[in-house]
Structure formats: structure tokens, C-alpha cells
Amino acid sequence: MEEYGLNMAPFQATFKRMGQPAFPRPPVDGYKNANRRFVAWRKDPGYADRYYQGELDETGKPDGRGVSIKVGRCLRIGHYKKGEMHGQQHEIFDIGLHAI
């Protein structure tokens, strides 16, 4: 996480305490997309300070399970739909706060 500006002690302590964070339950709205593909860490083209790893739709937007990092601010683990967060997510902030 150091390369993404998340090497602060409070963030690291929370992340370590959580162990291997699991994805929250998917939203129960019936949304499915059979055309998803996986992408390894990449700079999110829609944001100057965000990196993303996970599933994408056919247009290249986050869609399905994914992890995003806002440089120096937070890490998000959750589900996306057409480029936007969708349903529950784990969010760990630079100050060590963990929100669901």
C-alpha cells in the first residue's frame, strides 16, 4: 500500500487487524452482466487519483467485484455497477477508520 500513499500507521493497523478482507454480500437487485472481464491494478481513467483492480463491463467501467484505492485517502472493497459503487463496501481510511 506504500506506493499508493497508504502507509500511515493507523491505516496499516486497521488493515492488519482485518486480516484478508472479504467482499461484502452482493446487492440483491437481480443485476447481472455476462460480459465482465477482470483487470489487474490500473489507473482508473475517470479519476486522477484512483487505482482499480477487478471486474469491468464491456465499456471498461468497474462492474462487479472490485477494489479501488484513492491515493493517500482510502481503500474500498465492494461491488460496482456501471462504474459506480453498488451495495455494501468495506472502506478503510488513511486515519484507520473502517466503515461498511
State pLDDT tens for residues 14-46. 988 988 888 888 888 878 788 899 999 998 877
Distance CA 50, CA 68 (A): 7
Across residues 79-94, what is the average pLDDT?
A: 90
Distance CA 19, CA 16 (A): 5
- Rg (alpha carbons) of the chain, rounded to whole number: 14
Q: What's the burial of 20, exposed, middle or buried (CB within 10 Å: 0-12/13-18/19+)?
A: exposed
pLDDT tier, 54 (very low <50, low <70, confident <90, very high otherwise): very high
- DSSP secondary structure, 70-100, as one string: ETTTEEEEEEEETTEEEEEEEEEETTS-EE-
Residue 53 above 90 pLDDT? yes
Predicted pLDDT of residue 100: 83
Predicted pLDDT of residue 97: 87
Query: 87: phi > 0 → left, psi -120 to 50 → alpha, else beta; which?
Result: left
